Structure 1
Amino acid sequence: MKIARIEAIPFAIPYRKPLRFASGEVHTADHVLVRVHSDDGLVGVAEAPPRPYTYGETQESIIAVIGKILAPELVGLSLLERETVHARMDRTVGNPAAKAAIDMALWDVLGRTLDVGVSALLGGFTDRMRVSHMVGFAPDDVMVAEAQRVRDTYGITTFKVKVGRRPVSLDVGACRALRAALGPDVELYVDGNRGWTPSEAARSLDAMADLDLTLAEELCPADDVLGRRWLVGRTGVPTVADESATTPAEVTRELLGGSATMISIKTARTGFTTSQQILHQCAGMGAEVVLGNQIDGQLGTACAVAFGAAHRLTARRAGELSNFLDMRDDLLTVPLQISGGELAVRTGPGLGIEIDPDKLAHYRTDV
């Protein structure tokens, strides 16, 4: 039960359409497949999605830090020495997606070794989650058509609307159009990706006060400490910290400083181990959480739903688990399926998924 080898394999899969939001846009999923091999011949997998405009990582940097720094420190450790794994990875600052993927692949290979599902190992609360779908920047009619299609095809009734444009009337108009088209029974919440100033955010929330928005995520820059605190104090919409709360220490700062009332947990940046620490931290502080998405592919989404369904706190809300629908293809042998607005945890040992070798050979970019 020891780590024998760790691989980092770059691959690229185009999106059906560009995904646009305040902090950037993506046209291709330039991700990294991470594989952890045990000395028993088993392999655990995970996906690292680089987000250079958010965390500074690129596909090339993830491959380099895993191959040159992290893997040499971890090979030879037992699969059960998770604290030692993190202690050694933490000697290197930053690189959250690279570290998270290694952590999740370790959990996967451990589950395969024990013949137990990862979600059961993490907590086993339920076997599925309700799904929230992200609607990115586009003309109002296009955003409405996408939300209607996703609702009618997959039964999804929770939508995260990307905002943060200037003038703010663009986003206010889009939210109004979505509410008018989808009706009162659909949940809408907004995510600004740090695109507005506090005054712009306040004005926008005031203008949308009648739309019954359930959450407002990361409307202002993470380092605008006083402005974020002022905004939280004047709005009744629960405020979610996302990019500003990527570590347990940042979570403490955001919650105790009054800059947020909820926390977004993303397994793609904190893996299973640190995500669980943050989840327990929020439970102890009485803060709600939402399961976020790093524009993950199906492999990353399988990891996210395994974690989200394992815990009561994350399973309460719809999780952001549908971004893979925007990809033209994926790497899994059996694709994920959203039905009735829900995504089920895969059965079987580990994550319960397998990588299609032909698809990997087609999409990998290092050969």
Structure 2
Amino acid sequence: MKIVAVEAIPFAVPYRKPLRFASGEVHSADHVLVRVHAEDGVVGVAEAPPRPYTYGETQASIRAVVDTVFAPEIVGLSVFERERIHAVLDRTIGNPTAKAAIDMAVWDVIGRRLGVGVSELLGGYTDRMRVSHMVGFAPDDVMVAEAQRMRDEHGVTTFKVKVGRRPVALDTGACRALREALGPDVELYVDGNRGWTASEAARALDEMADLGLTLSEELMPADQVLGRRWLTARTTVPTVADESATRPGEVTRELLDGAATMISIKTARTGFTGSQRVLHLCEGLGTEVVMGNQVDGQLGTACTVAFGAAHRHTSARAGELSNYLDMSDDLLTEPLRISGGELRVPGGPGIGVDVDPDKLAHYRTDT
């Protein structure tokens, strides 16, 4: 079953409110829909979310590399020749979300053609995941109100709190307000998006030592090598490598260097194939993982829950699966729904979701 065409379609869906964190601010989901067409008419889809301040990709660069570099080389290959497809993709440095979207769209074709869900093909461990919700920068009362709404409306009891501001007290105060309002039974962890120095991060963790934080993610830049080792060694809060560990080699470096004790896996940047490689490496090294979020839309979230639920190791913790709720609309024919703090894997073949052509026509930006 050969690939006959690959499309990269830009679209933009406004957020209900700006999303703010230490590495940037976004007002709309300026993403790219990647479609892989097979010769029998089956079409696989995936979503590429650019994060220029994190990975250097833009909507324009994703379209360009897919249209002019990747598509000409993989058209004519079978969707089952996934190692040959990755040999083509890996010749190009960087461009993680463009590569990931092609990989996931290929898996979607395979699942649709076989009439089987991708989550089953990947492992089929369970059919759902617990949900973690990201709370971004805002006044304390606004952050608390958002978390309470997610708990009351969707049953979510795990929250990832964005930190990394200066002065440090802005974020330690926000975390304390969340703990006091939500009580001891809610899980809180923090993500700094590389916003602090080692000393600032150490001070913040000391100030929050009584809050029962379960994880701390990317509190400082990856190139502060000695500072990261020092911080990880002095704290009892597990340290999660995210942007610093996007490939198996980086995962190995972060873990063996003592710069991290856990790894965030994001299908938006490693697809299904690369995410499995990262997962298996972590399993071999005895390291916990968490399913992260690239501020994905519903299509990207469907990919995350499909992968996370497929494996015992990734389904053990709540996955970051709710931030599509910040978007004012989406592209899918049937929206994802979080209930009782859980998100189920969509039940159809492939990734299990379909793109609404009318919505795509409305939100695409190339026509």
TM-score w.r.t. length of structure 2? 1.00
- Structure 2 match to 1:140: 140
Q: Does 1:316 align with 2:343?
A: no
Shift of 1:66: 0.1
Q: Secondary structure at the match of 2:231?
A: helix
Is 1:269–2:269 an aligned residue pair? yes
Residue aligning to 1:209: 209
Aligned to 1:278: 278
Look up the match of 1:55: 55
Q: Which position in structure 2 is the counterpart of 1:111? A: 111
Rounded to whole Å, the distance in 2 between the matches of 1:233 and 1:303 is 34
Instruction: Give the aligned partner of residue 72 of structure 2.
Output: 72
**Could you tell me which residue of structure 2 aligns to residue 42 of structure 1?**
42
Q: Which residue of 2 aligns with 1:4?
A: 4
Report deviation, 1:348: 1.7
| CA distance in structure 1 between the partners assigned to 2:2 and 2:198 by the alignment | 50
* Segments of 4+ moved more than 3 angstroms: none
Q: Does 1:128 align with 2:135?
A: no
Shift of 1:71: 0.5
Q: Distance in 2 between matches of 1:30 and 1:238?
A: 33
Cα distance in 1 for residues equivalent to 2:206 and 2:6: 50
- For residue 296 of structure 2, what is the aligned residue in structure 1? 296
Which structure 2 residues correspond to residues 1-367 of structure 1 after superposition, within 5 A?
Answer: 1-367=1-367
Tell me how far 1:359 sits from its aligned partner: 0.3
- Give the Cα–Cα distance (whole angstroms) in 1 for the partners of residues 347 and 67 of structure 2: 31
5+ residue gaps in structure 2?
A: none
SS in 1 for 2:314: helix
Aligned residues: 367
Aligned-residue Cα RMSD (Å) equals: 0.4
> What residue identity is the alignment partner of 1:306?
A
- The offset of 1:352, in angstroms, is 1.2
Q: Distance in 2 between matches of 1:303 and 1:25?
A: 24
The amino acid across from 1:83 in the alignment is E
Deviation string 1:326-365 (CA, Å, 9 cap, x unpaired) is 0000000000000000000011210111100000000000
Q: Which runs of 5+ in 1 are unaligned?
A: none
Deviations 1:156-203 (A, max 9, x none): 000000000000000000000000000000000000000000000000
**Rounded Cα–Cα distance in structure 2 between residues aligned with 1:65 and 1:250:** 23
Taking the aligned partners of 2:94 and 2:325, their CA distance within structure 1 comes to 29
Q: Give TM-score scaled by structure 1 length.
A: 1.00
* Corresponding letter in the other structure for 2:358: D
Which residue identity is paired with 1:47?
E
